[in-house]
Amino acid sequence: MEKAQSQDAAVASSDSSALKMSWLRICDRLKSEVGDVEYRMWIQRITLGALEDDEITLYLPERFLRDWVRAQYGQRLQSLWREENPAVQHVELRIDKKAQRAAAIDDLPQVSSDSSSISTIASEDAAALEREEAAVATPTSVSEVRNDLAVPLDRRFTFDNFVVGKPNEFAYACAGRVADHPASPGFNPLFLYGGVGLGKTHLMHAIGLKLIERGNISVAYMSAEKFMYRFIASMQSKSQMEFKEQLRSVDVLMIDDLQFLIGKNSTQEEFFHTFNALVDAGRQIIVSADKSPSDLSGLEDRLRTRLGCGMVADIHATTFELRISILEAKAKASGTPVPPKVLEYLAHKITTNVRELEGALNRLIAHADLVGRPVTLESTQDVLKDMLKAHERRVTIDEIQRKVAEHFNIRLTDMSSARRARAVARPRQIAMYLAKQLTSRSLPEIGRKFGNRDHTTVMHAVNRISELMEQDPGLAESVELLRHMLES
């Protein structure tokens, strides 16, 4: 009787949602036991696998992570699982490269509750990881250092494939200079910084590829995260000396996304010593980060100071022109014709991140190839519906009123005043029209924002401006210009 009951329990609790709940509770307990930092570093990298018989499988993305977790937390994981769920008797820890993707998503900083921005970061992480994996797996990558320290470089990220425009020309020039004359005075370290997806990693790989092409030079490229893992793994396996020697034997060391080291003091310290040893020996260091050295608060001062001692180059946000050039280049390389209108549309809609721009274009091209129909503006809007929604900028009525008032040189208060002179009334109608077009506010809501006007007044304004735009190209142009400014 008792046996039958416990079997029932085992069956009931082995379905996947029950397992997930168990796992969440175990994670919570571990978090309170080991503390936030360790939790994030190790436990959060675990992904839950399936229960088979009485064995639950947990995955980690890398061997040394798996070994570390097994050594440090293996016993505890097992006893927590047994307590939590009697169906589980054993815990098996396995390696699964793909588990990293899930971990990376969980690992996001809890700064934003805006789900759209979270998924953006997550997909970026995933993209970067995919790239890393692809680079490892495909013959297009090159392994530049004999030891396993570095990540291979991606052959696609060359100087030739990098589209240069105002926002990135300085960084591009600095990168080119370092590739041609590594470790020259004034350029060591080279510190590249800028927002996500603006080409930092691309430029670093381009430098590495160019240097290797010329031969006889050892280049190590890795993310700061990788640097930390390798460092910790070397301590664990008591091979610190080997790790240090490997690092100090390269001619060029590139560390990507240095901001990751914020708050990781012992890794920072190790990096600082490596940095000094290499620079003193006349080797080149290249670092990227999302902020300038002076803005990277949380890095040790002495490291920050040294990072700012060479060349600091900023990659600015893309301009419309640069986005168009990038899209043109990528469309051309793909061989699939993409109408200029579509490129303009994309460049207009996706403004922050080249990676996403590229992703959107690739999706369009893949779709067109698949269904055997050319890319058109309509198919673009359809294929990218979800993606574009996330990019829709939320324009407020206040913003619209301000911009329109500025544009027509009238007072902001006239947006809600009772004045009926054409010079004020027309711009007010344009602002109402734009409010209807660019926001999701209802007509009565818009009316209220314009000095408590009635919704029929707003409707009239919307119709009137639509009509006028057809008759008067000058007015149409003004409205389009305003819309453009408000949306970008």
For ligand ADP, the binding residues (CB under 6 A) are: 157, 161-163, 168, 194, 196-202, 326, 354-355, 358
Are residues 94 and 49 in contact, defined by beta-carbon separation less than 8 angstroms? yes
Shortest reach from residue 87's CB to ligand ADP, in Å: 43
- What distance lies between CA 172 and its chain's CA centroid? 21
Which C-beta is closer to ligand ADP: that of 145 or that of 163?
163
Single-letter code of the amino acid located at 105: I
**What SS3 state is found at 68?**
helix
198 binds, among ligand ADP, Mg ion, none (CB under 5 to 8 A by kind): ligand ADP
Minimum gap (Å) between residue 289 Cβ and Mg ion:
10
Q: Which of Mg ion, ligand ADP, none is residue 326 near (CB under 5 to 8 Å by kind)?
A: ligand ADP
* Nearer Cβ to ligand ADP (360/430): 360
The dihedral formed by the CA atoms of 343, 349, 350 and 356, expressed in degrees to the nearest 10: -70
Judged by beta carbon, residue 27 or residue 196, the one nearer ligand ADP is 196
In angstroms, give the least distance from the CB of 232 to ligand ADP.
24
Residue 343 corresponds to which tokens in the numbers above?
């490129």
One-letter identity of residue 70: R
Beta carbon nearer to ligand ADP, 165 or 339 = 165
C-beta of 219: minimal distance to Mg ion in Å? 17
Q: Is residue 234 involved in binding Mg ion (CB under 5 A)? A: no
Cα 94 to chain centroid distance, Å, stands at 28
Q: Which residue is nearest to Mg ion (CB)?
A: 201
**3-class secondary-structure state, position 319:** coil
For the chain, the helix, strand and coil percentages under 3-state DSSP, each to the nearest 5: 60, 10, 30
Helix or strand (DSSP H, E) at 270: helix 265-280
Main-chain phi, psi angles of 59, to 5 degrees: -115, 145
196 binds, among ligand ADP, Mg ion, none (CB under 5 to 8 A by kind): ligand ADP
Residues 171-210 that bind Mg ion (CB under 5 A): 200-201
Question: Which 408-467 positions form the footprint of Mg ion (CB under 5 A)?
Answer: none
- In the complex with Mg ion, the residue whose CB is nearer, 201 or 439, is 201
Question: Position 328: which residue type?
Answer: E
| Nearer residue to ligand ADP within complex by CB, 161 or 396 | 161
Rounded to 10°, the helix 340-349/354-371 angle is 140
Number of residues that bind Mg ion (CB under 5 A): 2
The values of phi and psi at residue 46, to 5°, are -80, 135
Residue 88's DSSP bridge partners are none
CB of 257 to Mg ion, least distance (A): 6
**In this chain, which residue has its C-beta nearest to ligand ADP?**
199
State the minimum distance, in angstroms, from the CB of residue 166 to Mg ion: 21
The entry of Mg ion, ligand ADP, none near residue 358 (CB within 5 to 8 angstroms by kind) is: ligand ADP
Residue 314: contacted member of ligand ADP, Mg ion, none (CB under 5 to 8 Å, by partner type): none
Q: How far apart are CA 406 and CA 286, in angstroms?
A: 45
Binding partner of residue 197 among ligand ADP, Mg ion, none, CB cut-off 5 to 8 Å per kind = ligand ADP
- Please state, in angstroms and rounded to a whole number, the distance separating the CA atoms of residues 125 and 101: 7
Q: Which is nearer to ligand ADP, 163 or 479 (CB)?
A: 163
From CA 433, how far away is CA 426, in angstroms rounded? 10
DSSP letter at 62 equals S
- Whole-number minimum distance, CB 313 to ligand ADP, in Å? 12
State the minimum distance, in angstroms, from the CB of residue 165 to ligand ADP.
7
DSSP 383: H
Quote the least distance from Cβ 162 to ligand ADP, whole Å: 4
H/E segment holding residue 222: strand 219-223
- Interface residue list for Mg ion (CB under 5 A): 200-201
